[in-house]
Amino acid sequence: MQVLEYDNDRIVYDPELLAEPPQQCLEPMYWQQQGAVIGSASGRGTTWFVRGKRLEMALRHYYRGGLFGRLVRDHYWFTGWEKTRSLAELRLLQHLSGAGVNVPRPVAARVRKKGWLYQADLLTEKVAGARDLVALLQHEPLPQERWEQIGQMIARMHGCGVCHTDLNAHNILLDAEQQVWLIDFDKCHLATGEGWQQGNLDRLHRSFVKEVAKAGIRWDAQAWQWLLIGYQAKAISPPEAG
């Protein structure tokens, strides 16, 4: 990763993945002018899917959620460059990708410092042909093998000491080759000790139960047991503190 600093901005980027100008690639308008926008997704903000010279990517600006987010939409309190939302997520993705966990590779992150506040953007690899579990399970159930693979990938993430604070059915993808991917590591972190792993699994279980009622997904207790079989087969102890 290389670091570029100018004015009150800091950009961290991977020159092996990014062929475009780092100062411009984190602006949606740049990709629109290049005719390189290939899609978008709406959530708290808009995620832009773009086609770069070396790979397809997803560009996201960080927005606050909840009641406070209505007042301060996209500014955060600055306490250090590496503690900013975009750089922290980039470093976590680096850690996971380097350990063999299927996560989008980080391409570039920007922090725009404004006094004691900052704004943040992140550019990551777009997983080709991927769909989340909610979209998939609305049409057909998954076989036991796939559920076990999902459990194994979650265990691999936990083995790296990463606590996914928003592990849910929307943040697990299957690509065109039926490979499992984990996404959305904003506000996630490295953790030690015990208990947090089960907390992640409990959150995921609640997500499946919710989506059965909300989206009519084809999921049941047997599918969950298959996931746990895969998880327990690959689970290893998290690293100890210090």
Residue 60: burial class (beta carbons within 10 Å; 0-12, 13-18, 19+) = buried
Contact 199, 171 (CB under 8 A): no
Contact 191, 200 (CB under 8 A): no
User: What is the distance between the alpha carbons of residues 150 and 8, in angstroms, rounded to a whole number?
Assistant: 41
Within a 13 Å sphere around the CA of 147, how many CA atoms are in the beta-carbon half? 19
| Residues forming the active site | 166
Phi/psi for 3 (5° steps) reads: -120, 130
